[in-house]
Structure 1
Amino acid sequence: MISIHPDNPQPRLIRQVLDQLQEGAVIALPTDACYALACLPGDKTGADRIRRIRQVDETHHLTLLCRDLSELGVYAKVDNTAFRLMKALTPGAYTFILPATREVPRRLQHPKRRTIGMRVPASPIVSALLEELGSPLMSATLQLPGDEHPLSEPWEIEERLGKVVDLVIDGGAGTLEATSVVDLTGDAPEVMRHGLGDVGFLDE
């Protein structure tokens, strides 16, 4: 476990985390919602490990954590309507399902829909990691099979997953809620999961 200040992440510690990621690490990190599992997008073994920990198959959307909307636009096809909605909601506790571009490896896309989850978190730790890395991170909500809520306490994550992840970032307690998931591939936004981000205006 490595403790990083949630509001003012120490650059030296951020670089230590990146060193481990570049060596193939799967990490648990705090976001603006619950904790998440993450690895580098090009790390096939890492993505497979995340799916095994979560016990999900390739139809479960993994999510790219991006620095901003311009980076998100490299990896997803975004029309004007989707862009306006995402601009209003980012950074924040939302995951958007979008058509993937060719920049996204096929093995990370939904096998039939060719979609990908995209997210711009409002988290200083995640932002510092993405800024230093210069590219997105691949992630999934840290919710274990059979659990009612995602994991949000670093000590519990280390206790339960210390043998299957390489690093736990202690950035303080997270929330017990995952992000809200909004599918932007259809004619109108569709809420796929009600989570921390307010989506009441989309249900009207």
Structure 2
Amino acid sequence: MSETLMLSPDAAGVQRAAGLLQAGGLVALPTETVYGLAGDARSDLAVARIFEAKGRPRFNPLIVHVPDVAAAEAVAVLDDRARRLAAAFWPGPLTMVLPVRAEAGLSALVTAGLGSVAVRVPAHPLAQALLRALGGPLAAPSANPSGKVSPTTAAHVVEGLSGRIAAVLDGGPCAVGVESTILGLTGAAVLLRPGGVPVEALEAVLGESVALRDEAAAVTAPGQLASHYAPEARVRLEARTARPGEVWVGFGPDCAGAALTLSPSGDLVEAAARLFAVLREADRLAGPGGAIAFAPVPEAGLGRAINDRLGRAAAPRG
């Protein structure tokens, strides 16, 4: 990738950032919590590039950023609790995990194939300006290499991601400096990650206690290990050919006989972008009681995330 641009915090900088995002590029943007690594949440390829840039080892769910409650309603189902919390804390450092709308148009990589979506309305004026200029939702985990300290200045972003992303929209230091609070609302209210809004403040608005997440429970939100969609069909890995009755999914140019492919050229970014859609299509083709065989994917770069996902899909089920 070419040199990462530093964009000014003005109308020209916002418009340039929006153009880069519309073209599938990645832009680091300031929020009140930390800098986020933003890509168009509707684009499989853009979201795959987020994972590539961060070196993220698994396809964890990502937070979707929207400009207001109406935009949140377009991607998620808000109940009375969510609306009361939105009125109290949005814009601000609260993320709510809610049922995803079927018509939301989000990349399946954003939700990690789950039926829920993590959504928040950032308060930073530049984040707001960019969301409105783009006219769509942004997926934006913290703008740092996976496992490293979250960035609170544009310089921090450049230290970790220079040359990996298109641009940084420089909004100065972040005011809050810790990630958003994540509250699960797909059932009883559960604190999935502490952050910029204290749990006591959430409880005051809800009028009820917020449960703490059971560390042994399945993961449903960013900041945790990923819980993934599993197909109905049995899954076999490292398959260089198909056995009778299997749907063979190829990777690379040596899989000419495959029914489907993650990437005919062996491009890991393309494979990551296509992974969830191919899994679903292979499951449909396999049918009840069927089987899917995946060709080997290199255990390097995004290949590690792809293989982690496929390994979970292939794991024995009770």
Fold shared by both chains (TM-score > 0.5)? yes
Q: Which amino acid aligns with 2:170?
A: D
How far apart are residue 4 of structure 1 and its match?
3.2
- Report the AA paired with residue 13 of structure 1: G
Match of 2:234 in 1: none
Q: Does 1:2 align with 2:3?
A: no
1:153–1:172 contact (8 Å) kept in structure 2:
yes
Tell me if structure 2 keeps the 8 A contact 1:142–1:150.
yes
Instruction: Look up the match of 1:83.
Output: 83
Contact preservation (8 Å) 2:93, 2:197: yes
Q: CA offsets per residue over residues 148-193 of structure 1, 9 Å max, x none? A: x311121231122112111111111225311111111112x21111
2:17 is matched with 17
**Structure 2 unaligned residues grouped into runs of 5+:** 204-208, 210-318
- Size of the alignment, in residue pairs? 196
Structure 1: where are the runs of 5+ without partners? Answer: none
Name the residue aligned to 1:125: 126
TM-score by length of 1: 0.87
What amino acid is aligned across from residue 134 of structure 1 in structure 2? G
Q: Please say if 1:136 is aligned against 2:140.
A: no
In structure 2, give the amino acid aligned to 1:110.
A
Higher RCO (CA < 8 A, seq sep 6+): 1
State the identity %: 26
3-state SS of the aligned residue for 1:18?
helix
TM-score by length of 2: 0.58
What corresponds to 2:191 in structure 1? 191
User: Do 2:39 and 2:47's aligned partners in 1 also have CA atoms closer than 8 Å?
Assistant: yes
Match of 1:165 in 2: 165
Instruction: Output the CA distance in 2 between the equivalents of 1:42 and 1:197.
Output: 28
* Equivalent AA in structure 2 for residue 2 of structure 1: M
Matched residues in 2 for 1:79 and 1:156: separation?
37
The CA RMSD measured in Å over matched residues stands at 1.8
Q: Which range is displaced more, 156-165 or 91-100?
A: 156-165
Deviation at 1:200, TM superposition (A): 2.3
Instruction: Tell me the residue number matched to 1:116.
Output: 117
Is the 2:96–2:185 contact (alpha carbons within 8 Å) kept by the matching residues of 1?
yes
Q: Which structure has the larger Rg over C-alpha atoms?
A: 2
Contact 1:75 1:100 in 2 (8 A): yes
Contact 2:47 2:109 in 1 (8 A): no
